Every structure is written in C-alpha cells, then in structure tokens.
Amino acid sequence: MYLISNKFYLPLIFLIFLNNLFALEYNINIIQSKIVYKEKGIYACFPNIFTIKDTIIIGFSTRKTSSHYDKEGGGKRYISTDNGSTWYETKQNHIYPGYKNLEGNYTITVPKNWRKINKEDLQKKRDESITIKESNGFFWESIGIYQKTINSKGVQISSKTIQLPKHSLLMGTNLSSYHRRDDGARLISLFGKLNNRQKDNQIFILQSFDDGKKWTFIKPYSDPGKIGNIGLGETALIETEKNIIIGISRGSDGYLYSSHSKNFGSNWSNPRKMNIWGHPANLIKLNKKLLVCTYGYRKSPIGIRAIILDSETLESKSKEFILRADGKGNPYDTGYPMTINLKENTFLTCYYFTSADNITHIATTKWEII
C-alpha cells in the first residue's frame, strides 16, 4: 500500500477543486437582440428556425387572439442572409432539410391535425369519451396526424393521415420534437391525452425506420408520461455521439424532466426531474460531450434562458445564462425558443416575446459562449 504525503496530496486536492470550479466557469456575451416581426393586433407565436446554406429561415404562426386555436390564424416566413442582423418577409417555400428522404423528396409530418366540432355534436363526442379541447368558444378533436411528400419544387407527390388512438387529443411542438437519422429513421415526440378521463398530459413517441412510410405509436413509460401527480408535455429530442436519444420534457410543475433511449425510442428510462425551472426546452450540441439547452422562463423576470449540460449525465456544466429578462404581460406569452449554431460557440436563439406595449412578437438573440 502506498501513501501520498500531504506535500503531494493537498496540491492534488486543490487541482481537482480548480478543475471542477473552472468546469462551471462558462460565461456568455449577448451580441444583439432583434425583432423579426411585430404588428399591433397580431399575436405572433411558435417559431421554427433552420438554415439552408447561408440563409436563416424563421416560420411562425400569426393569430388574431392569444389562443393556440384560432380559426383566423395564419403564418409568415422571414429570412436573413447576414446571420440574423436583418430580416425580411419571403413568400418562397423553404423546406426544412431534415424532412428530406432517401429518395431525394421531402416527407413532412405535421404533428397536429384537429377538426372543429359543431356544438350540436358536442355531447355525443363527450359520451364517446373523445378528448375535446375548448378555446374561445370553439371545440376541437384530433383526427390523426397529417403527412405529405413533396418534391424539391413543392409539388405534392402523396399524402396520408397517420392514425392515432381513437379518443386521443395529441400534438407536437416545433422542430425541437422531431429527429431524423441519415438512414431514414425518424422520431416525433407528442403529448396530450388518450381520453377525456385523463387529468394530466402524457408523452408519446412516433417511430419510423423507413422515412415515414410506416409509423409505430409508443407509450414510453409504464405510467405513461407521469411522475406521481406530474404531467409531462412538450419534449425536445436530440441524439448523442453514442447514439442515445435524449428527451427533455416540460413538467406541469414548471421544471424540466429528462429521459433517454438506447434503442431509438423503443424503450425509455423513467423520467428524472432536473434542477431547471423553465419550459419548453430546445437542445443543440455544443460539442461531442456537451449540449446547449434553451428554454422560456415564464415567471418574473420573464424571459429566455440557457444552460450547458453534459450529454451523457445531463448534469449542469454551467450556471444558468439569461438571454432575455425584460418580458412583460402574461408570462405564458413568452417562450418556445429554438437555437441554431452560427459558428463555433456562437448561437442565434429565436422565440416569441411580449414587450411593455403588450404586443406578442417574434424576436431573436445572438449570443456567444466565452
């Protein structure tokens, strides 16, 4: 047995302490925050952001009311060719590259396909245990998930409806909930209720190994999507360098919950509560070992936050970064961030935001890790 003298032991402990200390010594620099789209009387929300070569594309919903369900709602698309410094509207149909299939076309799966219910049919639907969503005096039911395949010019080749459990009302979120491998395997995270007797939202997974020709509906947990009395909602997906799928979900208590799958979504670990308050999450890779997680912060000071996570343990490797903390109005009119890499350690985060004038709009923050 060999003993280490205090002469060597104490400096060793000090070096370990410094290593752990500096491992958490990431800081950020906010380069700029920009308004992409803002218009009085329009509730702009739920953005997606992606890149095609040197062009950044943001698509988002426009509503007349602050509702998730607006029969008069529409959408817009804005682009930037200078790394997010300026934005302008486009009518061009930019297709997300992650939808491209092995045949060179694009298979687009829209994780929400709802139908408005006439009031005279409402009680019959309820008697059948169909899950119904009410908003602004309108009632909705799910009729499956719409999928279409188009060519590079946007011409539709085929379409179909992916059937979900009969009485369910399920939905996805933005592109955070979608993942595709180069071999055509795809995952989509959904959340919602299987029937109208369920109190809390649950998580579900759609899995395909042939670019969406066939889908498998998966209930990830034995007590599906719940931990005690906690319901789980919008779930961001990412695949690590070791081919492990990470899912980070919004908990009904406001915290994030993590889970993982080692077989491309067929089986999942039990959800684990993270020490991060905020939702929903978005995940991108910082490097082979670290992830960047961005999320909305829906209590005072309202805004957008980020944190660095270990890609294997999901332990925090940084303090919580504040990207925005000047949100006003209803805290639920802020969030759903998505982040892209501009270059090494430099990011552009897109989100919807409500300012002091009470106009909910689309904005971005460009920031860097230093």
pLDDT tens for each residue of 320-336: 999 999 999 888 889 99
pLDDT in tens, 134-188: 776 778 787 788 999 999 989 999 999 898 887 788 888 899 999 999 999 999 9
If one compares 135 and 192, the residue with the highest pLDDT of the two is: 192
Classified as helix, coil or strand, 16 is helix
pLDDT score at 141: 81
Pairwise CA distance, residues 350 & 366, whole Å: 9
- For 65-82, b/e burial (b = at least 16 CB within 10 A) is ebebbbeebeebbbbbee
First-to-last alpha carbon distance for the chain, in angstroms, is 44
Residue 226 — pLDDT band, cuts 50, 70, 90? low
pLDDT score at 173: 87
Matching CATH number, 29-369, of 3.30.70.580, 3.30.70.1050, 2.120.10.10, 2.40.50.100: 2.120.10.10
If one compares 130 and 319, the residue with the highest pLDDT of the two is: 319
Q: Kindly state the average pLDDT of the residues 239-267.
A: 96
Pairwise CA distance, residues 258 & 274, whole Å: 7
Classified as helix, coil or strand, 6 is helix
Q: Is the pLDDT of residue 4 over 90?
A: no
Task: Find residue 363's DSSP bridge partners.
Answer: 35, 351
pLDDT score at 69: 66
Q: Is the pLDDT of residue 72 over 90?
A: no
User: β-strand 133-135 against 138-142: which pairing, if any?
Assistant: antiparallel
Pairwise CA distance, residues 190 & 256, whole Å: 16
Residues in Cβ contact with 63 at an 8 Å cutoff, skipping those fewer than 6 apart: 42, 43, 44, 45, 70, 72, 73
Query: Could you say which DSSP state residue 99 is in?
Result: G
Query: Could you say which DSSP state residue 316 is in?
Result: B
Cα 295 off chain centre by: 9
Q: Is the pLDDT of residue 319 over 60?
A: yes
pLDDT score at 113: 67
Q: What is the pTM of this model?
A: 0.88
Q: Is the pLDDT of residue 209 over 80?
A: yes
Nearest by Cα to 174 from 256, 103, 98, 232: 98
Classified as helix, coil or strand, 24 is coil
Q: Is the pLDDT of residue 5 over 60?
A: no
pLDDT score at 166: 79
Extents of the domains making up the chain: 29-369
